[in-house]
């Protein structure tokens, strides 16, 4: 198991962020992590929107979020603590993440 790759703030690309969040499962995961007040494990998302996600797919989704620079993942014992990098990203791309999270909330509210 090679060490987890986290891009430096200055290496975070807009295209990578948009690609990562263009998947409904990933945007749901990220929204949850960004809104949580404590770190979330991967396995907390074994189901997303009442749909079960295979763990190999979950692992892939977390990798995409991590490599886009959206989350930071640190092993804590047997599990992984995932936290968002919203504050950092805000410094590089002001307003971007809040606008996306807001749009996601608008869409979810509209759908319900």
Could you tell me if 69 and 85 are in contact, meaning their C-beta atoms sit under 8 angstroms apart?
yes
- Beta strands 51-52 and 71-76, pairing class: unpaired
**Cβ-based nearer residue to its own copies, 52 or 98:** 98
- Kindly state the smallest distance separating residue 9's Cβ from its own copies, in Å: 11
The interface partner of residue 43, options being its own copies, DNA, none and the CB cut-off 5 to 8 Å by kind, is DNA
Burial of 17 (0-12, 13-18, 19+ CB in 10 A): buried
- Kindly state the smallest distance separating residue 15's Cβ from its own copies, in Å: 5
- Residues at the contact surface with DNA, assessed by CB under 7 A: 1-2, 4, 19, 23, 25, 41-43, 53-64, 73, 75, 77-80
- Kindly state the smallest distance separating residue 94's Cβ from DNA, in Å: 27
CA 101 – CA 80 distance, rounded (Å): 23
- Residues at the contact surface with its own copies, assessed by CB under 8 A: 10, 13-16, 18-19, 21-24, 27, 92-96, 98-100, 102-104, 106-107, 110
Burial of 63 (0-12, 13-18, 19+ CB in 10 A): middle
């Amino acid at each position: 198991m090679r060490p987890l790759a986290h891009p430096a703030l200055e290496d975070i690309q807009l295209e990578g962020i948009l690609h990562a969040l263009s998947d409904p499962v990933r945007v749901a995961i990220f929204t949850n992590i960004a809104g949580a007040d404590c770190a979330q494990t991967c396995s907390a998302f074994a189901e997303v929107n009442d749909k079960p996600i295979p763990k190999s797919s979950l692992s892939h989704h977390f990798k995409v979020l991590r490599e886009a620079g959206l989350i930071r993942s640190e092993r804590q014992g047997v599990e992984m603590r995932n936290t968002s990098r919203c504050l950092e990203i805000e410094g590089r791309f002001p307003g971007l993440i809040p606008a996306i999270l807001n749009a996601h909330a608008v869409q979810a509210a509209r759908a319900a």
